[in-house]
């Protein structure tokens, strides 16, 4: 599948901000099943985008702009050719051993209720892949997709108690549960082509208001000996297919967030996001 992505993030400040610093994990990398045909990042303000790899090997861009800034726009557009690998991630240079991803974070701590839930989901199952699928199915049955009650700082145990959340919350619950039963797991951010049924924050064109607004999709990856890293999307009860574009990974959402930054000075900040992810009309002919 050839996937076209256009992702615009627009900040407005009233009164104008004195400056801003942004870190972008908005550039996919080539690996088995994913080839970047074209990709570009445009920033409305005059600045230098500095490219580097972060600690997890994600391709990252940073920039700083001086004010006064009334509006700041970050626009990403590109095309990616994908193939279905049944969720298996290969061809990626790993910076750390899988054991690092057993490390808990504030967003992925499992409380007694979540630990018992994970143990019950995996009870009596020896095969690691089967355990992970059982955990994913259990989370799907436990949770209801609802964008209202949670935000970027909601923890796995909070979303689990609410029984509601978005793809990020489902992924954090999966990660916390997998780690508790002894399986390294991490967060993956990216995009997904939806057919109207997929549960994601990227359904067609989205306009979001408010400083905590975000757009994109998130899922989990777990380490399976003999296979390597395998993706699991508990919000959609499936392993990633050719409809997914993988951007970045981290211990949790904050480590793989597509956009993070700070502004200084100024007054109220408002954020709007416009995102389209669809199958490109320019398919490779074979």
Tens digits of residue pLDDT in 55-74: 999 999 999 998 899 999 99
Other Cβ atoms within 10 Å of 68 Cβ, number:
12
For 118-175, what is each residue's pLDDT tens digit?
Answer: 999 999 999 999 999 999 999 999 999 999 999 989 999 999 999 999 999 999 999 9
Q: Which two tokens stand for residue 154?
A: 């909601």
Number of neighbours of residue 148 by Cβ within 10 angstroms: 8
Query: Which tokens hold the place of 68?
Result: 């006064």
Helix, strand, coil share of the chain (percent; to 5): 20, 40, 40
Residue 285 confidence (pLDDT) above 70:
no
Specify the range with the lowest mean pLDDT, choosing from 64-68, 107-111, 169-173, 221-225: 64-68
Cis link prior to 258 (omega < 30° from 0)?
no
Mapping DSSP to helix (H, G, I), strand (E, B) and coil, where does residue 67 land?
strand
Percent of the chain with pLDDT over 90: 79
pLDDT at 205: 29
Q: Where is average pLDDT lowest: 5-14, 142-151, 176-185, 202-211?
A: 202-211
pTM above 0.85, yes or no: yes
Backbone angles phi, psi at 154, to 5 degrees: -65, 135
The pLDDT confidence band at residue 189, using thresholds 50, 70 and 90, is very high
Q: What is the token pair recorded at 10?
A: 């627009």
Report residue 233's pLDDT band, with 50, 70 and 90 as the boundaries.
very high
Residue 261, pLDDT above cutoff 50? yes
């Amino acid at each position: 599948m050839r996937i076209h992505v256009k992702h615009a993030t627009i900040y407005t400040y009233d009164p104008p901000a004195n400056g801003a610093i942004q870190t972008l994990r908005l550039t996919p990398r080539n690996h088995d099943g994913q080839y970047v045909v074209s990709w570009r990042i445009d920033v409305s303000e005059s600045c230098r985008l500095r490219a580097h790899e972060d600690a997890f090997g994600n391709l990252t861009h940073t920039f700083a702009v001086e004010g006064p800034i009334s509006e700041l726009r970050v626009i990403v557009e590109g095309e990616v050719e994908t193939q279905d690998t049944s969720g298996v991630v290969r061809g990626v240079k790993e910076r750390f051993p899988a054991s690092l991803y057993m490390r808990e974070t504030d967003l992925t701590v499992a409380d007694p209720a979540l630990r018992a839930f994970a143990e019950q989901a995996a009870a009596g199952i020896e095969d690691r892949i089967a355990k992970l699928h059982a955990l994913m199915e259990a989370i799907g049955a436990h949770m209801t997709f609802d964008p209202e009650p949670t935000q970027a700082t909601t923890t796995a145990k909070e979303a689990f108690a609410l029984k509601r959340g978005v793809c990020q919350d489902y992924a954090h619950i999966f990660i916390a549960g997998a780690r508790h039963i002894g399986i390294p797991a991490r967060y993956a951010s990216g995009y997904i082509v939806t057919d109207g049924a997929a549960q994601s924050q990227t359904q067609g064109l989205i306009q979001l208001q408010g400083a905590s607004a975000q757009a994109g999709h998130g899922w989990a990856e777990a380490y399976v000996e003999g296979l390597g890293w395998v993706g699991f999307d508990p919000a959609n009860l499936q392993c990633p297919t050719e409809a997914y574009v993988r951007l970045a990974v981290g211990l949790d959402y904050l480590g793989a967030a597509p956009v993070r930054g700070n502004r200084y000075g100024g007054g109220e900040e408002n954020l709007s996001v416009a995102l389209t992810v669809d199958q490109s009309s320019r398919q490779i002919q074979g």
